[in-house]
Amino acid sequence: MKTLNEIHLSNLELDSLFHPRTIAVYGASENTKKIGYLQLQALLNGRFEGEIYPIHPSSKEIAGLPCYQSVKEVPNKVDLAILCVNINHVENCLIECGKSGVKAAIIFASGYSEIGEAGIKAQNRLKEIADRYNIRVIGPNCVGLLNTTNGLMGTFSPGLTNIPLGKRREVGFVTQSGAFGVLTYIAAAQHGLTFNYFVSVGNEVDVGFSDVIEYMLNDPNTTIASGYLEGEKNPGKLRELAKHALEINKPIVIMKSGRSSAGSRAAESHTGSLAGADKIYDGFFKQTGIVRADDYDDIISFSKLFLSNKLPAGRNTVIVTSSGGRGINEADRCESYGLNIHPLSDKVKSEIEKNIPSYASALNPIDLTAAASITHPELYIEPLKVLINDPETDIIIFSEFPMDWDENTPLLQEFVELCKSSDKLIFVTTFPLEGMSIPKGVQYLEDNGIPVITGNLNPIRSLAKLVEYSETYEKAKTQEQAHEREVNKQNIQPLLTRNQTLSESQSSEILSQYGIQTTIQAVADTETNAVKIANEIGYPVVLKIDSPDIPHKTEVDGIRLNITSDQELKEAFQEIYENAKEHCPSANIHGISVQQMLPEGVEVIVGVTNDPTFGPVIMFGLGGVFVEVFKDVSFRVAPITRQDAISMMEELRGHELLKGVRNKKAADKEAIIDVLLKVSALIQEYQDDIQEIDINPLIVYEKGITAADALIVTK
């Protein structure tokens, strides 16, 4: 992680963007159709706290402000320049800013890297100017930047500027899509959540997605750093930031799109072809504790729940409702997202029953019936009084709450006081609200830290994400103390011939060096030699063709299993040799590998691929048809921790197979963890040399584990 000084520096730099004292607006205009007009009005209407200087070649005054021909002429030092000019003028303006010591700029113009070759060149020139003059730039091809706490409405988009500001502004949002960002900003505002920072990073010529995340994490007034991501250019930085974020309990919540692009990349080996980019992002988010939002509504709902400042201590959830049907639906949803609708204890149940009518139900969900919503609203209070003292309950959801109550309703006041007295997460779900107006009762609840979330925002899905975040946060706290076992670096450089698919024996040798058990084997060049080796190893044995030119041995019928005698071996030796010669006449054949025939166990697979974004990525899965048909695999970006290895196993749909089913013994999980960590260390040390690792199958026993086959591809 960065030192405090570095953080301070980085913050100082971006402060000119988020907290400028002076702003110059290039292209300011009184023509209502120009974005320079919209931008200037946005700053004026937003009541920007600092000075605004319109820049225009001829006008003396715009919108009542004195106008300047260039930023050079502005009497004060300009912190931020907003360039509302045509692409043809951008470079000159930026140079002018640089020469005048402007610290930061927003560039709206499009026509850069998004249009291809010519645009990339133009964008590179911007980069060069920004670097030369040390100007921090947002854009180009962006919607702009808002700081809703100081009136900095650095945008021309009416979708952003016409939205009333909510009270609480402590969630930041950065987006790689302008339009999707605007949509999210509006939707959040409709639900009473106004982002403190909104940043459309556009083409990221300078300030990138994770730079903004970093700024928000370091900003004392930001509680959550959220964003919409299409592709992270600096995952290493994001990983470091995520670690820091967990330490300081500021969630990073990201909606990552492009799931359907998964599987589009071709890759030579099996392992590779399974590594859809999206599954890697999934693994990356899991291992870093970044909350993955499924849609913009998750960003809103998660934020609202987190802002209550009550992380749930567990998954036990009680639903209190006036609609039986709604209760069943919420319960269905809770269970489908892994929350627990636990049966209430007899004690709790009977205490609740004392104060609710006989036709109401004190089971979980607690159904107060329509009586609560129509004639007896006081019923809502009764179960709450009991539940806040129930040690088995972690979360209480009030579904279908009366919306005509307000801050003067004594019952709502009592409800609020009870909620505030408890450290359980308590929130309200309601019917969708209409438009931009927040009912008074809702505002009163939210002011008092009780989130109110409308049904169509899928609050239960977000709740499940909050519970997961809470668990990850707790684990991270304990993990800090836990000592990760070190895997020592081994010198395998001599084994890594460049740009090769290594043979099985070469690959196995490398794994052996890292302490991974492989089959006893030796390569025989003649039949006689093979018999000798087989007798040394002891029957039954396996024969496999050994050639760097034949990575997929079954395809050339180059494997014979369970050979039990010299005679059988001789025949198999000839067959394999002939098959290989027939299928790959030009292959360089090292010989035939004679190996011990491993006893049966649970077959798993461990692989490493090189992802263009993330670098080396580790894969784990169940072998055979489970990987081929069910694609039951998990990914993590290297290096991984012990905890990552454990969750890679637990995440598999078929993870029960490792526990032993159908009279089989449980597989040695520690041995699997050990291999995963060793492979992680190996690829971490040699990521410049190794392109791919494929251990398939890796056979796990009740005690111990052995790689039955291995394939390493070098760079």
Rounded distance between C-alpha atoms, residue 40 and residue 211, angstroms: 26
For residues 269 to 298, the per-residue mask of contacts with a copy of itself, x marking binding by CB under 8 A and - elsewhere, is --------------------------x-x-
Residue type, 181: G
Asked if 164 touches a copy of itself (CB under 8 A), the answer is no
Q: Minimal distance in Å, beta carbon 321 to a copy of itself?
A: 8
The smaller minimum CB distance to a copy of itself, of residues 66 and 357, is found at: 357
Q: Minimal distance in Å, beta carbon 98 to a copy of itself?
A: 27
Q: Minimal distance in Å, beta carbon 109 to a copy of itself?
A: 11
CA–centroid distance for 132 within its chain = 34
For a copy of itself, the binding residue among 60, 488, 629, 688 (CB under 8 A) is: 629
Asked if 175 touches a copy of itself (CB under 8 A), the answer is yes
For residues 521 to 560, the per-residue mask of contacts with a copy of itself, x marking binding by CB under 8 A and - elsewhere, is ---------------------------------x------
Pairing of strands 144-147, 615-622: unpaired
Q: What separation in angstroms does the CA of 242 have from each of 330, 391, 430, 477, 491?
A: 32, 32, 33, 14, 32
Asked if 177 touches a copy of itself (CB under 8 A), the answer is yes
- Residue 442 structure tokens: 């809702």
Q: Minimal distance in Å, beta carbon 331 to a copy of itself?
A: 5
Pairing of strands 521-524, 591-596: antiparallel
Contact stretch for a copy of itself (CB under 8 A) within 74-82, 269-277, 454-462, 679-687 = 454-462
Residue 554 has a CB neighbour count (10 Å cut-off) of 10
For residues 61 to 100, the per-residue mask of contacts with a copy of itself, x marking binding by CB under 8 A and - elsewhere, is ----------------------------------------
Q: Minimal distance in Å, beta carbon 632 to a copy of itself?
A: 9
Query: Where in 555-594 is the site for a copy of itself (CB under 8 A)?
Result: none
Residue type, 502: L
HSE of 282 in the Cβ direction (CA atoms, 13 Å)? 16
User: CA angle, 470 as apex, 438 and 262 as ends, to 5°?
Assistant: 85
Q: Minimal distance in Å, beta carbon 382 to a copy of itself?
A: 18
Termini Cα distance of the chain:
30
Q: Minimal distance in Å, beta carbon 281 to a copy of itself?
A: 12
Could you please report the per-residue DSSP string of 67-117?
-BSSGGG-SS--SEEEE-S-HHHHHHHHHHHHHTT--EEEE----SGGG-H
- Residue 667 structure tokens: 């597989």
Could you please report the per-residue DSSP string of 658-687?
GG--TTPPPP-HHHHHHHHHHHHHHHHHTT
Asked if 228 touches a copy of itself (CB under 8 A), the answer is yes
Rounded distance between C-alpha atoms, residue 176 and residue 209, angstroms: 7
Query: Where in 425-444 is the site for a copy of itself (CB under 8 A)?
Result: 431-432, 434-436
For residues 348 to 377, the per-residue mask of contacts with a copy of itself, x marking binding by CB under 8 A and - elsewhere, is ----------xx---------xx--x----
Asked if 628 touches a copy of itself (CB under 8 A), the answer is yes
Query: Where in 98-117 is the site for a copy of itself (CB under 8 A)?
Result: 110-111, 114-115
The smaller minimum CB distance to a copy of itself, of residues 452 and 511, is found at: 452
Asked if 403 touches a copy of itself (CB under 8 A), the answer is no
Q: Minimal distance in Å, beta carbon 332 to a copy of itself?
A: 4
User: Reduced to 3 states, what is the DSSP secondary structure of residue 654?
Assistant: coil
Asked if 332 touches a copy of itself (CB under 8 A), the answer is yes
Q: What number of chain residues touch a copy of itself (CB under 8 A)?
A: 63
Q: Minimal distance in Å, beta carbon 637 to a copy of itself?
A: 22
CA neighbor of 621 nearest in space, from 268, 261, 283, 258? 283
For a copy of itself, the binding residue among 69, 134, 345, 456 (CB under 8 A) is: 456
For a copy of itself, the binding residue among 61, 128, 335, 417 (CB under 8 A) is: 335
Length of the chain: 715
Rounded distance between C-alpha atoms, residue 358 and residue 367, angstroms: 11
Rounded distance between C-alpha atoms, residue 603 and residue 300, angstroms: 43
For a copy of itself, the binding residue among 149, 329, 355, 684 (CB under 8 A) is: 329
CA neighbor of 452 nearest in space, from 190, 228, 249, 195? 190
For residues 17 to 46, the per-residue mask of contacts with a copy of itself, x marking binding by CB under 8 A and - elsewhere, is ------------------------------
Rounded distance between C-alpha atoms, residue 573 and residue 550, angstroms: 16
Asked if 3 touches a copy of itself (CB under 8 A), the answer is no
Q: What separation in angstroms does the CA of 440 have from each of 265, 372, 404, 408?
A: 52, 20, 8, 10
Asked if 323 touches a copy of itself (CB under 8 A), the answer is yes
Q: How many DSSP H helices and E strands does the chain contain?
A: 24, 29
Asked if 179 touches a copy of itself (CB under 8 A), the answer is yes
CA neighbor of 640 nearest in space, from 523, 499, 485? 485
Residue type, 602: V
Q: Minimal distance in Å, beta carbon 375 to a copy of itself?
A: 9
Contact stretch for a copy of itself (CB under 8 A) within 245-253, 578-586, 648-656, 693-701 = 648-656
Asked if 338 touches a copy of itself (CB under 8 A), the answer is no
Rounded distance between C-alpha atoms, residue 249 and residue 245, angstroms: 6
For a copy of itself, the binding residue among 440, 630, 643, 669 (CB under 8 A) is: 630
Contact predicate 268/692, CB 8 Å: yes
Q: Minimal distance in Å, beta carbon 206 to a copy of itself?
A: 21
Could you please report the per-residue DSSP string of 168-232?
---EEEEES-HHHHHHHHHHHHHTT--EEEEEE-TT-SSS-HHHHHHHHHH-TT-SEEEEEES--
277-288 and 642-650 helices, crossing angle to 10°:
130
The smaller minimum CB distance to a copy of itself, of residues 317 and 593, is found at: 317
The residues that touch a copy of itself, with contacts defined as CB under 8 A, are 110-111, 114-115, 175-181, 183, 186-187, 190, 228, 230, 257-260, 295, 297, 322-326, 328-329, 331-332, 334-336, 341, 358-359, 369-370, 373, 400, 431-432, 434-436, 455-457, 554, 624-625, 628-630, 653-654, 656-657, 661-663
